[in-house]
Every structure is written in structure tokens, then in C-alpha cells.
């Protein structure tokens, strides 16, 4: 019998510092599992208070209320979409006649910003909505993407949940920004998906989903249509990547069964988030779909990212500062440990027990 001898220098991915490559962006993340044991003496956040009001007279997103610009919201009963009163981009097409310098370049950008109220109920974030209500949100996303994609190159659906993620209004809502040019992250993802396809004649995200299902260690939620996984290269402590298991390049192309299954997946993973630290779990999430400038769809696969900041509890968050700003992202608990924690919590919301 051969006796295996392990030296003090033997590497363990679960215990020792290492870097992991994100194949979607070609960027690396530093993983430092041993740091999760360190004591915490830094800043602690106040967990977001959960509103018990179904209607708030002072909320500019509630049905029937007046917004800042004086426009009255309709008495909506489901989702409600309007152009952002403080849009980040303007719809007017402008031409710059400035003389460019290689170090001082700019481009006028045209687009629109919209707000989507998920529900008329001021107190209910996505995991607290019923499955039909969440599916209405999915259908609203799809309709908006289909409409805006006829005019703009990139349609970014996203949600910032919680004050700690910069959300200025607790009413359940998300946003859609559409622009006539591809933003930086879209360009990076497109380049890397295309590069993988050219090398392997396979879709990167479908290959990745198949591999994660086989391994199982980072899978948090799975059904016949969708996979929710803590990605191997995750930066944020409880980051999630959501991938449809059948080829599809954008939200408006989802089948009825895929939309229904997506509502179920969202309900489960977001409930797991809330149950993890018994709080309304903050995050930023967003969908990535193929640019509407492109016709070749082989290399693209629709997917969503969830970036939550909480690290150890409802009051301790991960800060992307110092090394992260100057060098590269860094995380303490491994993606495998994060997935195990998320799998271990219930899909029945703690407030409903």
C-alpha cells in the first residue's frame, strides 16, 4: 500500500488563498477562505426595516399618489411602468462637434430610463409576492425588453433592493435603462462568450450549467428550466448566477413554461436570501441578454446576476474597497461554502412561519 504524504505546502482550495478566473469577463477574483475566521470590529449596518404598510401616502410609487414631477400614478393593480422622472439618459439624439484627443474622448449617448413597480402593495418585496404576481413581473420585463429592443442596442433590466444598495424608495420596484450603445460589461461578456464559441463550438454558459449540475457543490436551486448557482468565480459573498437550461438569448424569447419556472426559481432563491439572516436581504440584480445590434445568437445565453452585500449577518456587509479598488475583487468564504449555506435554509419565508 502506498502511503500518501502531505507536506505543509499541500494546497487546499477550501482553506488556502487562491485566485479564480471569471470566464465571462476574463477578470480574476482573490479567494481567502482563512479570513472568515477573523474577528469583526468594523462597521455594522442597521438591518432594513420591513414595512407593514400595504399603502404609504408619502410614497411616490404607490397607486394613486403624486410623483415628484406632479404626475399622478394610476390606481394600478399589477405591475406599473413609467419613464423615470430623473432619467439617467435622454431620448434626444445629439451630435458632438468637439475635437477629440486620444486621452480625452467622449460620445453622446441616447436612451431612456424606466421604472417598474412590481406590485401595488408597498410592503411586499419579490419573495413575498405570489407566484402569479412574480410571473407578472417576468412578463413585464419581457414586454419591456421586446419594445425597447426595437429601438436601442442594449436593454438593461435591473433591481437595487435595500438602502444599503442605494435604493431610494422601499416600494418594490426595479428599473430598465436602454441605450444606443453597448455598455462596458456587455462588451466584455460578448467578447468572452464569442471567444469560447469560436474555440469550442459550444455555448459557454450552457456548458458551465451542465458542469455545475454534474458537480452539485455550488447549485442552490434547479428545476427543468433554470439553474441558480453560486458561480465558481463569485466576488460577492452570496452571489448567484441564474441560467436558463435551454438556449435563449433574451427575456422576451422565454416560453410560457420557462417564464412560469422562472417565477418559481425567483421565489425560492429570494426567500432563501431573506431566510439566511432573517431580514429583507439587499442585493443588486440584473439581466444580461444579447445586444440588439447582433444577429448571430450562437454564442449568447440569457443570464441574471445577483450581487448581495451581506457577509456574516444582517448587519455586517462586504466592502469593495482598498485591495478590491486598486487590484482585484476579493472574497472570504468560498463559493462552495456560500452555496451550502443557501441550500440549508428553507424556501418558506421566515415571516410566513
Integer distance in angstroms from the first to the last C-alpha of the chain? Answer: 54
What are the backbone angles phi and psi of residue 174, rounded to the nearest 5°? -135, -170
Query: What are 45's three cell numbers?
Result: 449596518
DSSP H or E segment with residue 80? strand 80-83
Whether 16 is catalytic: no
Instruction: List the 80-83 sheet strands across, edge first.
Output: 80-83, 111-117, 173-179, 154-161, 283-288, 303-307, 240-244, 226-229, 219-222
CA distance 161 to 281: 8
CA distance 154 to 111: 9
CA distance 65 to 58: 8
3-class state of residue 141 by DSSP: helix
Give the Å distances, CA to CA, from 38 to 42, 44, 280, 296, 335. 11, 15, 26, 49, 18
Confirm if 202 and 156 have CB atoms less than 8 A apart: no
Instruction: List the 330-331 sheet strands across, edge first.
Output: 18-22, 27-31, 330-331
Confirm if 245 and 224 have CB atoms less than 8 A apart: yes
Helix and strand numbers (H, E) in the chain are 6, 12
- List 122, 173, 252, 305, catalytic entry: 173
Active site residues: 173
Amino acid at each position: 500500500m502506498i502511503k500518501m504524504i502531505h507536506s505543509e505546502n499541500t494546497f487546499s482550495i477550501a482553506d488556502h488563498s487562491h485566485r479564480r478566473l471569471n470566464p465571462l469577463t476574463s477578470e480574476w477574483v482573490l479567494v481567502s477562505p482563512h479570513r472568515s475566521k477573523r474577528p469583526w470590529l468594523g462597521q455594522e449596518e442597521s438591518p432594513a426595516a420591513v414595512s407593514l404598510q400595504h399603502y404609504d401616502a408619502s410614497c411616490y410609487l404607490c397607486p394613486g399618489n403624486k410623483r415628484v414631477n406632479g404626475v399622478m400614478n394610476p390606481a394600478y393593480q399589477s405591475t406599473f411602468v413609467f419613464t423615470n422622472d430623473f432619467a439617467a439618459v435622454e431620448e434626444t439624439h445629439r451630435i458632438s462637434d468637439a475635437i477629440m484627443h486620444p486621452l480625452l474622448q467622449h460620445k453622446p449617448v441616447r436612451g431612456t430610463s424606466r421604472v417598474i413597480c412590481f406590485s401595488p402593495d408597498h410592503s411586499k418585496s419579490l419573495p413575498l409576492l405570489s407566484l402569479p404576481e412574480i410571473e407578472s413581473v417576468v412578463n413585464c420585463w419581457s414586454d419591456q425588453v421586446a419594445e425597447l429592443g426595437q429601438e436601442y442596442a442594449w436593454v438593461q433590466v435591473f433591481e437595487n433592493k435595500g438602502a444599503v444598495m442605494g435604493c431610494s424608495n422601499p416600494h418594490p420596484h426595479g428599473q430598465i435603462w436602454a441605450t444606443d450603445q453597448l455598455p462596458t460589461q456587455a462588451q466584455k461578456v460578448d467578447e468572452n462568450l464569442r471567444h469560447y464559441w469560436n474555440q469550442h463550438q459550444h455555448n459557454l454558459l450552457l456548458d458551465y450549467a451542465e458542469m455545475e449540475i454534474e458537480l452539485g457543490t455550488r447549485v442552490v436551486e434547479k428545476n427543468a428550466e433554470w439553474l441558480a448557482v453560486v458561480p465558481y468565480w463569485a466576488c460577492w459573498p452570496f452571489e448567484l448566477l441564474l441560467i436558463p437550461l435551454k438556449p435563449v438569448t433574451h427575456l422576451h424569447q422565454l416560453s410560457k413554461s420557462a417564464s412560469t419556472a422562472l417565477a418559481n426559481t425567483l421565489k425560492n432563491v429570494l426567500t432563501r436570501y431573506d431566510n439566511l439572516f432573517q431580514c429583507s436581504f439587499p442585493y443588486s440584480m440584473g439581466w444580461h441578454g444579447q445586444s440588439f445590434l447582433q444577429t448571430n445568437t450562437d454564442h449568447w445565453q440569457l443570464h441574471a446576476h445577483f450581487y448581495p452585500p451581506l457577509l456574516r449577518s444582517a448587519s455586517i456587509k462586504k466592502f469593495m474597497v482598498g485591495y478590491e479598488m486598486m487590484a482585484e475583487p476579493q472574497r472570504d468564504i468560498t463559493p462552495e461554502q456560500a452555496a451550502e449555506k443557501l441550500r440549508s435554509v428553507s424556501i418558506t419565508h421566515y415571516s410566513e412561519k
